Amino acid sequence: MTPVPPRPSRSRRRAGLAALAALALAVPTPLVAAPTPAHAAAALQEVMFVGNNWDGTADVIRSRGDYARLGRINVIPDRTARLREIYLNPIKLAYFLGIRQGPGEGHDQFVDDMYTTPDGSALVVSRPSFADVVSIDLATGAVRWRFPVSGYRADHMAVSPDGTRVAVSASTSNTVHVLDIRTGAQLGSFGTGDKPHENIFTDGGRRLWNMSIGEVNTDLDAPWLDWTKGDRKITVADTTTFGVVKVIDMRDRLDAAGRRDLSDAVRPAVFTPDGSRLYFQVSFFNGLVEYDVAADRVTRVATLPKNPATSEDRTTWVNDSRHHGLSVSPDGSRLCVAGTMDDYATVVDRATLREGPLVPASKPYWATVSGDGRDCVISESGADQVTAINFATGQKVASVAVGDHPQRVRIGHLAEGWTPPAAG
């Protein structure tokens, strides 16, 4: 894996952000807030977890309103033991250092994704550099269970609608593992394309979609070298048998839509609430793609603004991303886009696929939905903060400081009156 070249200077990026602000379009109309889950009103409180990838911590913040920070959890309490194992194994050490120099941009990757157990007593975390998934007791901070993934790197996860199963991508073995979220026992697994990435449960948890992104850590980024990136596809598996029920090659669908210029490496993706449309980002593209699930075809492509300060040298874009982060409002009328390398986020009207105001943000890496459904919450990995943007107005609501290089942001639940283990 090769190191990522330096990004444009802060002064150039600030100038680009100022230029982007002038491109803002009309403000969208209000939407109705989503109801709070019933169990959040019981002995549990709804919160957001922010995974600080380079820190090895997760910040707990309020899931709505002022998004105030409630505490911080160490998700690598077993760091010494894990490093000892790695340094005693030459192959593991080679991958560990490769992750640091490649996707980690010179840093170890200690937390990629996280979800809470149904009873709110533990946080389940995928840890790329340690190639595992662990369950952290939210009261004591201790590791409850650990599942080493196949291969040498763990990546994105997904939790089933009932909260009992968690799926994790094992990047280097082209495998998705599905685990019992309470015990860590493997329930099943299935093979994918090269470098499995995003996972999404559908059909009430009966299906699991995995998007493989191929090799994103080389400098072979010129369009004519796209063939070097590997086998990229969407794999749909049955979550009872773990058999593959469908494989979708987006290359064919993009070509049929007249977009041979776009990569077929599907990055973050979201379904509309009714499951009829899939929206996704692809490598190297400042925009998003709309896919009709029933018709099995790409129906629309939206190109979003470029930041004038963003280098056109594709090798400077982190892990082949241009835009990386996508969420949909609860009523399905708005999409929220993190323009990672272009340093902005924006709310897109789904009917027209036209963007609203461009909200300046430093390397936004993810987008999710607030607990009340009113806001899109992005992680600003370049500024070590999360920022809420109102779906109705497209304007920034609040920013909250978190740890080093925040990436995934997930809704979760923990006990009312919870205090961080270090304080308790």
Interatomic CA distance for residues 176 and 165, integer angstroms: 12
Q: Which residues contact 17 (CB under 8 A, 6 or more apart)?
A: 307, 309, 343, 344, 360
What does the pLDDT profile of the chain (424 residues) look like in tens digits?
334 344 444 444 444 444 444 433 332 322 223 333 444 445 999 999 999 999 999 999 999 999 999 999 999 999 999 999 999 999 999 999 999 998 899 999 999 999 999 999 999 999 999 999 999 999 999 999 999 999 999 999 999 999 999 999 999 999 999 999 999 999 999 999 999 999 999 999 999 999 999 998 888 889 898 889 999 999 999 999 999 999 999 999 999 999 999 999 999 999 999 999 999 999 999 999 999 999 999 999 999 999 999 999 999 998 899 999 999 999 999 999 999 999 999 999 999 999 999 999 999 999 999 999 999 999 999 999 999 999 999 999 999 999 999 999 999 999 999 999 975 4
Interatomic CA distance for residues 358 and 344, integer angstroms: 6
pLDDT at 129: 97
> What DSSP state is assigned to residue 24?
-
Packing angle of the helix pair 79-87, 90-101 (nearest 10 deg): 110
pLDDT at 3: 40
pLDDT at 262: 95
CATH superfamily of the domain spanning 10-415: YVTN repeat-like/Quinoprotein amine dehydrogenase (2.130.10.10)
Q: Beta partners for 170?
A: 154, 175
Please name the helix (run of DSSP H) or strand (run of DSSP E) that holds residue 157, with its range, or none. Answer: strand 154-159
CA diameter of the chain: 58
DSSP string, 72-112: EEES-TTHHHHHHHHHT-HHHHHHHHHHHHTTTTTS-----
pLDDT at 27: 29
Token pair 């998003």: residue: 288
pLDDT at 42: 52
Interatomic CA distance for residues 349 and 373, integer angstroms: 16
Domain limits, the chain: 10-415
Q: CA angle, corner 162, sides to 157 and 167, nearest 5?
A: 20
